[in-house]
Amino acid sequence: MALSFDDRIVVCGAGGFIGGHLMGDLVRQGYRNLRGIDAKPVGQWFQRLPNAENLVLDLRDRTNCQIAVRGAAAVYNLAADMGGMGFIEHNRALCMLNVLINTHLLMASLEAGVERFFFSSSACVYGHDKQAHPGVEGLKEADAYPATPEDGYGWEKLFSERMCRHFTEDFGLTTRVTRYHNVYGPHGTYDGGREKAPAAICRKVAIAKLTGTDAIDIWGTGDQTRSFTYISDCLYGTQAIMSSEVVTFPINLGSTEQVTINQLVDLVEEIADVRLKRHYNPRAPKGVSGRNSDNTLIRQFLLWEPSVLLRVGMEQTYRWIYDQIASGKSREPARSVGCD
């Protein structure tokens, strides 16, 4: 699908981390008819683009979805009530209610004649039995079935993937679905309880550096493994998948550079030039033991895969979070570090 620079593009969740970056990237490419949607007041958006139409709408409501997609050629659904593992494990009902957003957006997009619809799914759709050990192999797309996803959030994502599939099969709406693996970078949540592991670790290390604190709290043993995808790779992959004529199925978008949480802390300490004691909380929410992305299909169909090295991305993320905290913009310096 080739969009013209004057086609209406709607980004749902534009006040959030990925959505804000996507809006900015579309502007840099020259797209002139952008509409950003988020439930938060505009003043709370991570990035606000003055040349875009910015609407505050709760997309759980069908009427608001009809307003959001009016006149749109393409819709990116990045909207969700979510956060890191601490939020997901304690707010399963709220996560499940996200199904209203995607369902109503699909219905509204079909009514409005939208040409293409993108849904941001998650590696949380994969079964726990595939992620029971830190040394887990990369998760293949087929590993989502038989279905045993993350309770609440993962089930909602998997159900919404199926909704996209059936809207394509039954009604002809072109949909694209991507399973994000731990996207991180600057201009995102780093405190308040919804932050994910890279941002939480950067925050804790930055606070220690600024205050002289000598310790950091870590959820679990620190042996959990993850791969983390830098925002620039996420943006390129998202748009490549959206425009692809061959990626018609849910596909992984993630790095394969797997590390333990302890290694991630090591890395941030090196960047910050500080060494900290570690206090482990094995009873805190810690997610699955291991998670990594198998990129066979994205390499096959897009001739590309995420390539930004973790150290490069974490340097950018740490510097931004450090500057935010140093300038007094940190809202709630929560103590714990988890992973999703």
Question: What confidence score (pLDDT) does residue 87 get?
Answer: 78
Nearest by Cα to 9 from 28, 26, 29:
26
Question: What confidence score (pLDDT) does residue 252 get?
Answer: 98
Contacts 24+ apart (CB under 8 A), 152-156: 152/88, 152/91, 152/92, 152/93, 152/95, 152/96, 153/82, 153/88, 153/92, 153/95, 153/96, 153/98, 153/122, 153/124, 154/122, 154/124, 154/125, 154/126, 155/96, 156/95, 156/96, 156/97, 156/98, 156/99
Please state, in angstroms and rounded to a whole number, the distance separating the CA atoms of residues 164 and 222: 36
CATH homologous superfamily, domain 9-183+228-253: NAD(P)-binding Rossmann-like Domain (3.40.50.720)
Question: What confidence score (pLDDT) does residue 51 get?
Answer: 86
Residue 260 burial class via C-beta count within 10 angstroms: exposed 0-12, middle 13-18, buried 19 and up: middle
The residues spanned by each domain of the chain are: 9-183+228-253, 189-227+257-297+308-326
On the question of a common fold for 9-183+228-253 and 189-227+257-297+308-326, the answer reads no
* Amino acid at site 29: Q
Going from the first residue of the chain to its last (340 residues), give the mean pLDDT of each consecutive group of 10, the final group possibly shorter.
91 96 96 97 91 96 98 97 74 92 98 98 93 90 95 95 98 98 95 88 96 90 95 98 98 97 97 96 83 98 98 98 88 36
Contact status, residue 312 vs residue 230, Cβ threshold 8 Å = yes
Question: What confidence score (pLDDT) does residue 330 get?
Answer: 57
CATH class of 189-227+257-297+308-326: alpha beta
Give yes or no: 76 in active site.
no
The one catalytic residue among 153, 180, 230, 322: 153
Question: What confidence score (pLDDT) does residue 333 get?
Answer: 35
Question: What confidence score (pLDDT) does residue 336 get?
Answer: 28
Question: What confidence score (pLDDT) does residue 340 get?
Answer: 41
